[in-house]
Structure 1
Amino acid sequence: MRLLKRFWREYRGLIAFLFLMTLFRSAIADWNVVPTGSMLPTIREGDRILVDKMAYDLRVPFTHIAIAHLHDPKRGDIVTIDSSAAHDLLVKRLIGLPGDVVAMRDNVLYVNGRKADYQPLAMSPVEGDANSPADYYVEHFDGISHALRLSELAPSPRSTFGPVTVPAGEYLMLGDNRDDSADSRYFGFFPRSELMGRARRVAYSLDPDRHYLPRFDRLGVALDGAAIASASR
């Protein structure tokens, strides 16, 4: 008992700090490691992304229980999803809202019967594309523009689907790397309770192909239009 009291006296400041930091990361903001390329070219493997945990809901810390709905998710948001179907934390782009009718034909997106517009994007190949060449495009739809990647050699077997209607309270998500993303085409629709926050920036990035050296050009990059802005420089 004496040892516990002594330990508490000496380290209570550190314990309180760690508890408050854990509470902050659970309910307010967090950073997540991105281990795959499913969101290329917007998010790179090794990026540590900042996530606004209060973008949509105020939750009881360490749970999925929402105390209050703050904002509705919007089309084009990059969302972190604690997916029960995938048994993993996913990062995807919100494409279909509740009630939307979504279809895809050879990687061309249709929402509510309207076809998205595509323009080629001239940019240098991103990490990992040397042995897997790809084409980059800007997808325009509903006032939103973002970059996406299409593989030249390995098109996805699910580049065509639908039309499907997004149920009430659920969302359809796709990766920007359309030919290499496990998203709603594999796991179905994602309920709002699994949407944990909105990813807004890259906190910092470590390059797994170069012994995890820092990528200084990724420091603080805003994810909205990041790949498009990079290509225009």
Structure 2
Amino acid sequence: MGFDFELILAIAFLITGVFWVYDRIVFAPKRKRLLAGMDQAAQKALSKAAKERLADTPTLVLEVKSYFVIIAVIFGLRSFVVEPFQIPSGSMLPTLQIGDFILVNKFDYGLRLPVTNTTLIPTSEPKRGDVVVFKYPLDPSLNYIKRLVGLPGDKIRYRNKVLTVNGQQVSKAFLAALPISLNPNEEPVTLFKENLGGVEHDIYNSNRNTPHEGDWVVPEGHYFVMGDNRDNSADSRFWGFVPEANMKGRAFYVWLHWDDFFSIPSFKNNGLIE
């Protein structure tokens, strides 16, 4: 979840917008005057495309500016309301499956400028237990998704597959031991129900040694994130904290599942994300 589609969309919005404004200033008044000089019958006889070509409006201008409205709508929705993503890896198993298409609420953590992600209007703060999408700190062109475990100032410990937040062990209840055939990681795992700050969700623990144990103190303006697939996730235990400025939004809904191009899309995983 790597090219920066948000940047590409912003560039397309600016280019088509410039052509749209250019047409409105230079050619639209000429077309209006020419149409005003025609009788009603002649105006009705002209198709919409023919009217657009009046005043010798260049074909390039007509073509490019015609995309402006649709790109503006898509750009506005993706930037300020909701943005779709596809899950590319198993780091959030069992909560999110590889191939799930999800929706991310872009307004939960503040109204932000596209591309720069600068907050214009603050709304609410990220909460412990949220499933968050953010710009990967080591390469902001990439989007990552993890569960928010640590807030600014929190003390996090992860040892022997036990998660502790501010000295309190995060409770998890055994659900099932799963064989290799039921796990995309191709190893046996144990399924638990974890309660993280009142947010209940399923997690996996493998039967091998816990990778990268340690203690961390979350700096101000940063967050500590982990994958629900605890022993198969590259997260804050490996590459550090997520700056607040990198936060993009809260993942809240799975709307489609599509394994690969040659498979049939399905709605088997549809529902709210816990």
TM score, norm. by length of structure 2: 0.73
Q: Aligned match of 2:184 in 99, 103, 128? A: 128
- Aligned to 2:78, what secondary structure does the other structure show? helix
Structure 1 gap segments, 5+ residues each: 225-233
User: Which one is further off, 210-219 or 67-76?
Assistant: 210-219
1-side partners of 2:125 and 2:183: how far apart?
34
Q: Which has the larger radius of gyration?
A: 2
TM-score (norm 1): 0.84
Residue 155 of structure 1 and its aligned partner are, at CA, apart by: 3.8
Counterparts of 2:57 and 2:72, CA distance in 1: 18
Matches within 5 A, 1:52-67: 52-67=105-120
The structure 2 residue matched to 1:91, chosen from 122, 145, 162, is: 145
Q: Is the 8 A contact 1:108 1:116 kept in 2?
A: yes
1:101/1:165 contact within 8 Å kept? yes
Secondary structure, counterpart of 1:20 in structure 2: helix
Match of 2:219 in 1: 167
- Give the percent of matched residue pairs that are identical in Structure 1 and Structure 2: 34
1:31 matched residue in structure 2: 84
Higher strand share: 1
* 1:96, distance to aligned residue in structure 2 (A): 0.4
CA offset digits 1:74-121 (Å, max 9, x no partner): 000000010232552110000001111110111101111111112112
Q: Report the counterpart of residue 179 of structure 1 in structure 2.
A: 231
Contact kept in structure 1, 2:159 and 2:210, CA below 8 Å? no
Q: Which moved more, 1:191-200 or 1:20-29?
A: 20-29
Q: Do the aligned partners of 1:79 and 1:195 also contact (CA within 8 Å) in 2?
A: yes
Tell me the CA shift for residue 212 of structure 1: 3.0
Deviation string 1:136-187 (CA, Å, 9 cap, x unpaired) is 10112322211101123x44421x211x211111110000000011110111
- Structure with higher RCO (Cα < 8 A, 6+ apart): 1
Counterpart residue type for residue 273 of structure 2: L
> What's the CA shift for 1:61?
2.5
Q: CA RMSD in A?
A: 2.4
Deviation at 1:60, TM superposition (A): 1.6
